[in-house]
Amino acid sequence: MEKAHCTVHRQALWILCFHVVCSLSFIAENISTTEITMDVNLIDENHHQHEAGSKWSPLFEDGPGPVNVTARIGSTVQLNCKIQLLYDKTVTWVHRKSDDIQLLTVGRQVHSSDQRISLSFRYPNNWRLQIVYITDRDDGVYECQVATHPPTTKKTYLRVDVPTVRMSVTGTGDVTRGGSDVFFKTGSTLEIVCKVVHAGSNNGSKVSWYRGPQTISTGITERTSNDSSYTTIVSILKIKHVQKTHSGNYTCLVGSPSASAAVTIHILNGDQPAAVHDGNSGPLVCCVAGWWLLTLCCLVLSS
């Protein structure tokens, strides 16, 4: 009897243990499912936080609207892009001009082959693009893009001020003019005037002078005048008692070859302009005529 009673107690204990184990397994499974659901929801919430237009998406400190920038030719320009709440997102710069699109930077890496372009990051959040020695081909739309979905973009419209450059030649003893060629006698006084006009106030434009590839730094005077809309710079190169060695191509330039003017000066030592142009043509004509005569004789003899 006692043995049967013990057997019943053991069976009841086994049943109780089984129910306890099942209950613990069910509780553990529910906890694990809850944790996974919370993790998924957290990941999904973080994902949406970084999407464009969400509460926690990156934003431009100076506002999303476009910016207009004007730069003089030959200068250095920095295009600002201040971003808040960037987190781990990547910033890129793109240049758009007509139908042409150029990738300039990705993160802090420069992808443009143009050595004038760099990323000049300024702590803590200014991903500014820097372009040195601005030329007329640099104008267009520059986009600072953040890699959200869809991309968050801020546009900067860059206009390059290309001045008008005109050149005139005066002096004493000039013989004649022909197109961009001017002829002077030795001992004369040569004066070349370079007039530069650009829009806006004086922005530090500098006029440079060259004879061929050589820089000229002496004999130059300059004056600047301003009105409400334009700035005019008049630069004058003056050479007294010119000699044959002063002959050459004279260029005045403002920042870039696209803003320049040139003239060719011939210094004559008793010669006439026609002799300067035609003095070397005689031997060439004789040589060509002799060649054709020799060819004709060979044809006659061979026939």
284 lies in a domain?
no
In a domain, 285, yes or no: no
Distance CA 256, CA 207 (A): 10
With respect to residue 303, please indicate whether it lies within any of the assigned structural domains.
Answer: no
Residue 204 belongs to a domain: yes
Average pLDDT over residues 37-60: 56
- At residue 37, the pLDDT reads 41
Does residue 141 carry a pLDDT above 70? yes
DSSP letters spanning 15-79: HHHHHHHHHHHHHHHHHHHHHHHHHHHHHHHHHHHTSTTSTTS-EETT-SS-EEEEEETT--EEE
Chain centroid offset of residue 40 CA? 45
Question: What is the total count of domains within the chain?
Answer: 2
- 67 is in which domain, residue-wise? 59-161
User: Which tens digit of pLDDT belongs to each residue from 157-202?
Assistant: 999 988 899 999 988 876 677 777 899 999 999 999 999 998 777 6
194 within domain boundaries? yes
pLDDT digits (tens, 9 = 90+) for 91-133: 999 999 988 999 999 999 999 999 999 999 999 999 999 999 8
Point out the domain boundary residue: 105, 130, 161.
161
Residues 108, 197, single domain; the answer is: no
Query: pLDDT value at position 214?
Result: 95
Instruction: Determine the residue type at 216.
Output: I
